[in-house]
Structure 1
Amino acid sequence: MADHAAATPSPQPDLTRNRLPTLFEVLSRRTLPPVDLFSFYIYMRDQQRSVDYLDFWLDVAQHMSLCRHYVRELRRSVLVSTPDPERGSQRSSGILEGLGDMNHPVAGPSMYASEKEKDQDAQMSAFLREDRGEHHESPVSSSARQERPSTTISTPRDPQTDSNSPPHTVARQDIRASAEKILYTFLLPNAEREITLPGSITQDIITAIEEFGRDDPEVFDVAKDYVFQAMERDAFPGFLRMKALGNLIPPTLIMRLIIGLVSIFGGFWAAFVLIFLNESRMTRLWLILPFTIGVYCLASYQYSLDPILALIGFSEYTPFNFSRVREPYVRKLISRRAVMVLTVTVLIDAALCVLFILVPGKRL
């Protein structure tokens, strides 16, 4: 146990899920396209215009993972060697030994944590508060720093990353730097990417970090849960409607609306011209083209779904960029809707074509 690192396991997608995923499952990277974290990130950036909230949540989750990684390394060093009394108190060593491996796959909102996880995280935060003046460093940290320059932990911005675990040894000052980065980026007035939170929440965090020197994960718990609930209430339902019930994005839908209206108008104009010129039914067969294009585009706009793309298994995430639909339940759901939309399209198109092709002509 003590001879190797207790790495945080990477989350695995749930391929047996027979329902739409929850926001927690999406943020935990347990879902597949088109309802994965990458797609949600793009949705928050391009549609909701509130990606800063998601970045804040991801940064706080990363901070939690950083703290867990640091405490795991420190705990391992305590277990494999005789603790040096000068490096920490007996109380701190006792807390470390009682924490367990802390191999939680993700750092999520407190309402989804198990009692064991909540207890371990509370003990970890208590240890970090006691430890903040001692600046523990794991045994391998010193040698690692001699081999390469010290680097500040930066929060990964790639939502496709499978794990929040840091790629190298974590030092105590890295945790402090991570907490301050979150504060200065998202929470201070006029910060670079300031997010709107209740004033009491923001002030409590600022006071805890700047006046009391705290950097433990509990500092951000209230804000993280508030942001999670706001995304779950205001953004996630729209994300599921767009990605689980459709496969097109708003710019493409507007384009299809315009093409559909122009095609339908052109079809009606050509139909009346051909009828009143008493053209043959063979000539009027060309009306199938504008009516089919128009009805197909308008149906795609109405249902936010391109039925042919859906049936071959593709979903749009940015204009004219597509990814495969890999989430099993979403694939079945979209396929059923595609058949329905295609049926409606064929029926309306057939009715228009039959009406304007078979109606008797009369030259004016």
Structure 2
Amino acid sequence: MASRTPTPDSTGPRDRLPNLFEVLSRRTTAPVDLFSFYIYMRDVQRSVDYLDFWLDVSQHMSLCRHYVRELRRSVLIGTPELEKGGGSKRSSQILDNFERNSADQGPSGHRHRQSESGLSAFLRNETASKHSPKNSQHSNRSDTSEAPPRPSYMTENGNSPNTPSPQINSNSSPEHTVARADIRASAEKILYTYLLPGAEREIILPQGILNDITNNIEKEGRDDPEVFDAAKDYVFQAMERDAFPGFLRAKALGNIVAPSMMLRLITGLIALFGALWTAFVLIFLNASRSTRCWEILPFTVGVYLLATHQYMLDPLMALAGYSEYTFMSFSRVKEPFVRKLLNKRALMCLAWIAVVDAALCCLFIFVPGKRL
């Protein structure tokens, strides 16, 4: 299944809003960073399990990469003659090819998918070699006449993608910190936590995808990253379609959270009701215009709070460069484009507040009084 994950345009400053992949890859800053998206998925969407699944699968991929890199170092440490050009280079070539591909590629796009396929092919071939008596017997034999087997992303020369690689002792290096059992445990943890029916944090996926993952892990014994590709892409597209637009509206176009908005709505209505009640009382008591000028205060407070609820934006806080993470918890706006966008909306919001407030004050201050 081809990934539809977008590729970031560049690593420089963005003159646009970030996309979901940039947020998940930690390439953005507050208030559109991964921490803010996590809070939004937890508190607003109530579906943080989908985000946790995506992050755990990405962590599983990183674990596999780390394992292969350490495996490559252990091969070079255990057989230094490989670097001199002599002997069999089959294992070293496979690991070398993967290391070059994974080092040169970005985290997304066609070349990333190619690198991920190579990593998964290597892990599958290593599993096959460990269960093959033939490969175990000949794993240490140097045979220069035999063409080196290659993983699936190197099949352009006609080699079979299922050719198993020779067995490699993953514990040959004293610096080896990730064992193959850790990768297996990581894959099983993802399966039992998110995917099996009745799981602790079960997420809803198409039944076909669930069946394929369960069969690959429990029956075929696979633990390579490609096992989760279909589910990862499905979850990414679901978050991109259902959650991410709302997240951008809340964090890139606004700077207050839902509890603050509700508090501002209630306080603003009370203040506006108090301002109107006071204004009518002063009119019917035929109070002087200088006395009625005090109505500016409750009208300004009421209009300001109602406008902030309507715009989901506190203009003064935006101009000061702050945004709310959670209720009454603030952080600085560090994303340049979002800062610029919030400032523009703050000025527009203040203009409307000034117009409405001036209209109400003029109406109730300059209208002739009449004592009843």
Three-state SS of the structure 2 residue aligned to 1:305 is coil
**Residue 103 of structure 1 aligns with which residue?**
103
Matched letter for residue 49 of structure 1: R
Q: Deviations over 1:324-352 (max 9, x none)?
A: 00000000000010000011101111111
Stretches of structure 2 that go unaligned for 5 or more consecutive residues are: 1-7, 82-87, 131-167
Matched letter for residue 68 of structure 1: R
| Structure 1 residue 136 displacement after superposition | 4.2
Structure 1 contact 260–298 (Cα < 8 Å) conserved: yes
**Residue 14 of structure 2 aligns with which residue?**
17
| Structure 1 residue 317 displacement after superposition | 1.2
**Residue 39 of structure 2 aligns with which residue?**
42
The 5 Å alignment of 1:211-230 reads 211-230=219-238
Three-state SS of the structure 2 residue aligned to 1:99 is helix
Structure 1 contact 15–328 (Cα < 8 Å) conserved: no
1:119–1:214 distance in 2 versus 1, CA, 3 Å: same
Matched letter for residue 172 of structure 2: P
For 1:105 and 1:254, locate their aligned partners in 2 and report how far apart those are by CA, in whole Å. 46
Q: Percent identity among equivalent residues?
A: 65
Structure 1 contact 136–172 (Cα < 8 Å) conserved: no
Structure 1 contact 175–215 (Cα < 8 Å) conserved: yes
Three-state SS of the structure 1 residue aligned to 2:99 is coil
1:143–1:75 distance in 2 versus 1, CA, 3 Å: closer
Three-state SS of the structure 1 residue aligned to 2:103 is coil
Moved over 4 A (4+): 89-93, 104-107
Count of aligned positions: 320
1:174 to 182, 197, 211: 182
Three-state SS of the structure 2 residue aligned to 1:357 is helix
1:286 to 265, 281, 294: 294
Q: Deviations over 1:156-182 (max 9, x none)?
A: xxxxxxxxxxxxx21111101110110
1:310 aligns with 2:289: no
1:31 to 23, 28, 32: 28
| Structure 1 residue 312 displacement after superposition | 0.2
Matched letter for residue 109 of structure 2: A
For 1:172 and 1:333, locate their aligned partners in 2 and report how far apart those are by CA, in whole Å. 48
| Structure 1 residue 305 displacement after superposition | 0.3
Structure 1 contact 73–138 (Cα < 8 Å) conserved: no
The 5 Å alignment of 1:334-353 reads 334-353=342-361
Higher mean displacement: 331-340 or 120-129: 120-129
Matched letter for residue 16 of structure 2: R
For 1:176 and 1:90, locate their aligned partners in 2 and report how far apart those are by CA, in whole Å. 27
For 1:37 and 1:45, locate their aligned partners in 2 and report how far apart those are by CA, in whole Å. 12
Three-state SS of the structure 2 residue aligned to 1:265 is helix
For 2:96 and 2:359, locate their aligned partners in 1 and report how far apart those are by CA, in whole Å. 75
2:172 to 115, 124, 139: 139
**Residue 124 of structure 1 aligns with which residue?**
119
Task: State which structure, 1 or 2, has the greater radius of gyration over its C-alpha atoms.
Answer: 2
| Structure 1 residue 72 displacement after superposition | 1.0
For 1:19 and 1:137, locate their aligned partners in 2 and report how far apart those are by CA, in whole Å. 45
Structure 2 contact 74–170 (Cα < 8 Å) conserved: no
Structure 1 contact 14–31 (Cα < 8 Å) conserved: no
Matched letter for residue 310 of structure 2: Q
1:198 to 195, 199, 206: 206
1:114 to 101, 110, 114: 110
1:90–1:219 distance in 2 versus 1, CA, 3 Å: farther
Structure 2 contact 279–295 (Cα < 8 Å) conserved: yes
Matched letter for residue 121 of structure 1: E
1:277–1:236 distance in 2 versus 1, CA, 3 Å: same
Q: Deviations over 1:3-27 (max 9, x none)?
A: xxxxxxxx9x955110000000000
TM-score (norm 2): 0.81
**Residue 247 of structure 2 aligns with which residue?**
239
1:276 aligns with 2:272: no
Three-state SS of the structure 2 residue aligned to 1:139 is coil
For 1:198 and 1:302, locate their aligned partners in 2 and report how far apart those are by CA, in whole Å. 38
| Structure 1 residue 290 displacement after superposition | 1.1
